[in-house]
């Protein structure tokens, strides 16, 4: 696990050094630079496999014709290595060297053989090109800048900004998307001319031209017609294999344990494969509506883990939030980012590697919004005239009489039901809708965005042949998973030099669950149906842990913003740079903020999005 950087143009050692310094937190164990002509590569190393100097980067093949900088872990690297050892002699035990020779043997087709999380760039000196790639799900980041003269890449935007002659302008389309989604969708980043390589993609940079290709897609169209017992057997086998592969490490390894089903399942599988107690880490809150500490302790007790826990209060939240833009260099508003940073700091005190339960909700339909989609399959049988002339007005009246999160969701469901699925599904999970944004944006921004609509983002990938649940899962996997959850995990963990591995994101497991009929994922509004049944039937977790209500890994941001952190939040929302950014009509923005504090609308996430946007603007503009 590392941070990688590169520069093609008027390159020199000073520039590569600046980029490495800006991303040094990603790899505290070693750093290295390679420059040839106008091409420079750099690496900050976090040593996980083969801790010796043989594993340092940039790394070369035996002919010195290939040079790689690499970030990630290839879990099947020994299997791939065995295929290559007949032709090539290895000098290290690293997966990095396996990637070099896999490229030498198979070229760009090497990606088909790699199972893991990764972002790497290979300088092919013989063919005078750069080949860069990102893993299938987007666990590891790769950002780049290209202006037809200079090509710059890095694991984090901070590395790119450190060597640009001029600060790039703000991308207002990206800001608009961010306010709706709480993250910036690829390839945008918030900065003009700086992009992210999308997941499951690779680039070729040659002769001053950049070309990007997709190499993998998750296929939901082919279903396996097998019974529940067979699904249970397949899932247990695949998950157990995935967990074991991710426990391979030359340094201590542990696990995040929120107390939820996914992280608890990972800890259970780990414990079954370990001859020593697993170290587990948990974050709790003083508000019992958000706290899962007791559930985490219960699982820890069952599997006798070495458990550490910490409670987050508003002051701790404020301390991390103030410093947050130093970690996240794109606009980002998932409020679980704060506890993620604190959790990573807690775990890093005892280890370099932790396993997480990321991916469980996307594999097995675990979010509440999937139940809204499932309910829609029944609601569509209500005559359209009755829906529009009776139910929709009632929903509007309920919201007017008692404006809150529940009545707002009911109104959104009724108002958007006849919209195309790709559009209304985004409404189910959106923060600011178009009306919200237009009401607070400045005239300049509204004019610029007149033809840009965030709610069309899934239109191209919507497949009318798939079930609505499959389309919802496809949407989340292709955007929300990589650009929100995995971005959050990578930046929070790597800010302290911690590697996080997610067994439920194994691409072979995800290809299997994509073949699973929707009824195995949601049945009678019971989310994660077959996954939970497998855990109980195979006695991996007790039923009371598996079937308790889902809470999610979120902070009590609402009560904090309206009480302990109110003065702090208002100060941030009135900062000079934020108000002079030309994004908002400041008078209308004041009205929006006033409405939040004087009513029960409870759009806490919208306010948090404005706060983190203010942080980002104050840091970078």
Secondary structure in 3-state letters for 411-451? HHHHHHCCCCHHHHHHHHHCCCCHHHHHHHECHHHHHHCCC
**Confidence band for 71, pLDDT divided at 50, 70 and 90:** very high
Output the pLDDT for position 48: 64
CA distance 548 to 295: 10
Name, in order, each residue with C-beta under 8 angstroms of 540's C-beta and a sequence gap of 6 or more: 236, 265, 268, 269, 534
Per the CB < 8 A criterion, the answer to whether 601 and 608 are in contact is no
Are 92 and 113 in contact by the 8 Å Cβ rule? The answer is: no
Q: What is the pLDDT of residues 392-422, one digit of tens each?
A: 999 999 988 888 778 888 999 999 999 999 9
| Spatial distance between the Cα atoms of 135 and 460, rounded to a whole number of angstroms | 22
Copy the structure tokens of residue 250: 């030359």
pLDDT at 581 over 70: yes
Residue 515 has pLDDT above 80, yes or no: yes
CATH architecture assignment, domain 2-214: 4-Layer Sandwich (3.60)
Mean pLDDT of 39-51: 78
Rounded-to-integer distance, Cα 592 and Cα 585, Å = 11
- The pLDDT assigned to 288 comes to 75
- Percentage of the chain lying above the pLDDT 70 cut: 98
pLDDT for residue 326: 83
pLDDT score of 536 more than 60 = yes
CA distance 497 to 2: 8
- In sequence order, what are the beta bridge partners of 312? 285
Q: Is the fold of 2-214 the same as that of 228-306+333-365+481-546?
A: no
CA-wise closest residue to 533 among 524, 519, 520, 550: 520
Closest to 406 (Cα-Cα) out of 604, 601, 609: 601
Q: Are 154 and 19 in contact (CB under 8 A)?
A: yes
- Closest C-alpha to 202, from 189, 190, 216: 216
Annotation says 2 is catalytic: yes
Please list, residue by residue across 75-94, b when 16 or more beta carbons sit within 10 angstroms of its beta carbon and e when fewer do: bbbeebbeebeeebeeebbb
The full length of the chain comes to 621
Domains of the chain, residue spans: 2-214, 228-306+333-365+481-546
Q: Which of 205-209, 336-340, 341-345 has the lowest mean pLDDT?
A: 336-340
Judging by beta carbons within 10 Å of its beta carbon (0-12, 13-18, 19+), is residue 275 exposed, middle or buried?
A: exposed
Report the C-alpha gap between 185 and 13 in whole angstroms: 33
d(CA 201, CA 136): 7
For 261-281, the three-class secondary structure string (H helix, E strand, C coil) is: HHHHHHHHHHHHCCCCCCEEE
pLDDT at 51 over 90: no
> What is the per-residue pLDDT for 284?
87
- What is residue 570's predicted lDDT score, i.e. its pLDDT? 95
* All residues at 6 or more sequence positions from 168 whose CB lies less than 8 Å from its CB, including other chains: 145, 161, 191, 192, 193, 194
pLDDT score recorded for residue 551? 66
**Catalytic residue of the set 2, 11, 67, 110:** 2
From the DSSP assignment, how many helices (H) and strands (E) are in the chain? 28, 17
**For residue 400, what are the contacts with CB-CB under 8 A and spacing of at least 6?**
none
pLDDT (0 to 100) of residue 52: 58
State the residue for tokens 């237009």. 438
Of the given ranges (193-202, 418-427, 558-567), which has the lowest mean pLDDT?
Answer: 558-567
CA 295/CA 316 separation, integer angstroms: 23
Cβ pair 180, 120 in contact under 8 A: no
- Contacts of 16-21 with C-beta under 8 Å, sequence gap 24+, read 16/40, 16/41, 16/42, 17/42, 18/162, 18/163, 19/152, 19/154, 19/159, 19/160, 19/162, 19/163, 20/44, 20/159, 21/162
The residue-averaged pLDDT of 27-41 equals 90
| Collapsed DSSP state (helix, strand, coil) of residue 547 | coil
| pLDDT of 553 | 65
On the 0-12 / 13-18 / 19+ scale of CB atoms within 10 A, 129 is middle
User: pLDDT class for 76, splitting at 50, 70, 90?
Assistant: very high
pLDDT at 47: 61
> Comparing C-alpha atoms, which of 106, 113, 71 is closest to residue 87?
106
CATH architecture assignment, domain 228-306+333-365+481-546: 3-Layer(aba) Sandwich (3.40)
Cα gap 509→102, rounded to integer Å: 23
The predicted pLDDT at position 49 comes to 60
**pLDDT of 50 higher than 60:** no
- Asked which of 295-309, 518-532, 595-609 is least confident by mean pLDDT, the reply is 595-609
Q: d(Cα 167, Cα 524) in Å, to the nearest integer?
A: 53
- Residue 244 phi, psi dihedral angles, 5° rounding: -60, -45
300-320 confidence digits (pLDDT tens): 999 999 999 998 888 888 888
Structure tokens at 358: 């990321």
Give me the pLDDT at residue 43, please.
Answer: 93
- Tell me if the pTM is above 0.85: yes
Q: What is the largest CA-CA distance in the chain?
A: 75
Q: Give the DSSP per-residue string, 81-105.
A: HHHHTTT---SSS-HHHHHHHHHHH
Q: Which range among 327-331, 451-455, 483-487 has the greatest average pLDDT?
A: 483-487
- What would the mean pLDDT of 158-169 be, rounded to a whole number? 95
pLDDT number for residue 100: 97
């Amino acid at each position: 696990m590392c941070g990688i950087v590169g520069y093609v143009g008027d390159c020199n050692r000073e520039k590569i050094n600046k980029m490495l310094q800006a991303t040094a937190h990603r790899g505290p164990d070693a750093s290295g630079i390679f420059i040839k002509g106008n091409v420079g590569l750099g690496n900050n190393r976090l040593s996980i496999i083969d801790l010796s100097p043989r594993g340092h980067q940039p790394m070369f093949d035996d002919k010195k014709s290939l040079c790689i900088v690499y970030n990630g872990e290839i879990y099947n690297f020994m299997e791939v290595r065995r295929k290559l050892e007949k032709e090539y002699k290895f000098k290290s035990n690293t997966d990095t060297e396996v990637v070099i020779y896999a490229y030498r043997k198979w070229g760009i087709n090497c990606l088909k053989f790699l199972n893991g999380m990764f972002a790497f760039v290979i300088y092919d000196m013989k063919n005078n090109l750069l080949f860069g790639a990102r893993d299938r799900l987007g666990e590891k980041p790769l950002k780049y800048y290209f202006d037809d003269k200079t090509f710059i890449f890095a694991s984090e935007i901070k590395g790119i900004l450190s060597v640009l002659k001029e600060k790039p302008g703000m991308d207002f389309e990206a800001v608009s998307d961010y306010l709706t989604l709480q993250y910036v969708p690829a390839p945008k980043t918030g900065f003009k001319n700086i992009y992210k390589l999308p997941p499951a993609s690779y680039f070729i940079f040659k002769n001053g031209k950049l070309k990007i290709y997709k190499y993998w897609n998750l296929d939901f169209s082919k279903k396996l017609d097998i019974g529940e017992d067979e699904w249970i057997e397949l899932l247990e086998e695949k998950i157990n294999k995935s967990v074991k592969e991710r426990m391979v490490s030359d340094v201590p390894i542990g696990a995040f344990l929120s107390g939820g089903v996914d992280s608890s399942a990972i800890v259970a599988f780990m414990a079954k494969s370990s001859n020593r107690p697993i170290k587990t880490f948990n974050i709790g809150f003083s508000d019992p509506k958000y706290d899962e500490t007791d559930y985490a302790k219960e699982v820890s007790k069952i599997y006798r883990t070495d458990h550490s826990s910490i409670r987050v209060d508003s002051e701790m939240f404020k301390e991390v939030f103030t410093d947050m833009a130093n970690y996240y260099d794109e606009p980002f508003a998932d409020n679980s980012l704060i506890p993620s940073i604190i959790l990573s700091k807690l775990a890093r005190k005892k280890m370099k590697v932790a396993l997480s339960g990321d991916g469980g909700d996307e594999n097995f339909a675990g979010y509440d919004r999937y139940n809204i989609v499932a309910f829609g399959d029944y609601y569509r049988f209500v005559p359209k005239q009755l829906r529009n002339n009776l139910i929709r007005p009632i929903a509007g009246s309920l919201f007017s009489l008692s404006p809150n999160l529940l009545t707002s969701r009911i109104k959104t469901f009724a108002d958007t039901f006849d919209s195309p699925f790709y559009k209304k599904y985004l409404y189910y999970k959106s923060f600011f809708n178009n009306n919200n944004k237009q009401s607070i944006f400045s005239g300049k921004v509204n004019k610029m965005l007149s033809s840009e609509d965030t709610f069309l983002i899934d239109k191209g990938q919507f497949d009318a042949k798939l079930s609505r649940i499959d389309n919802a899962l496809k949407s989340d996997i292709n955007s929300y998973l990589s650009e929100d959850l995995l971005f959050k995990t990578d930046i929070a963990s790597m800010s302290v030099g911690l590697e996080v591995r997610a067994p439920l994101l194994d691409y072979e497991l995800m290809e299997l669950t994509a073949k699973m009929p929707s009824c195995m994922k949601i049945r009678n509004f019971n989310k994660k149906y077959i996954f939970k049944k497998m855990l109980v039937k195979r006695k991996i977790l007790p039923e009371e842990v598996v079937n308790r209500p889902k809470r999610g890994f979120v902070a009590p941001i609402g009560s904090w913003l309206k009480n302990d952190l109110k003065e702090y939040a208002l100060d941030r929302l009135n900062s000079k740079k934020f108000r002079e950014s030309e994004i908002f009509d400041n008078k209308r923005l004041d009205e929006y903020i006033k409405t939040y504090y004087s009513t029960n609308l409870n759009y806490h996430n919208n306010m948090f999005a404005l706060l983190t946007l203010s942080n980002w603007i104050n840091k970078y503009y």
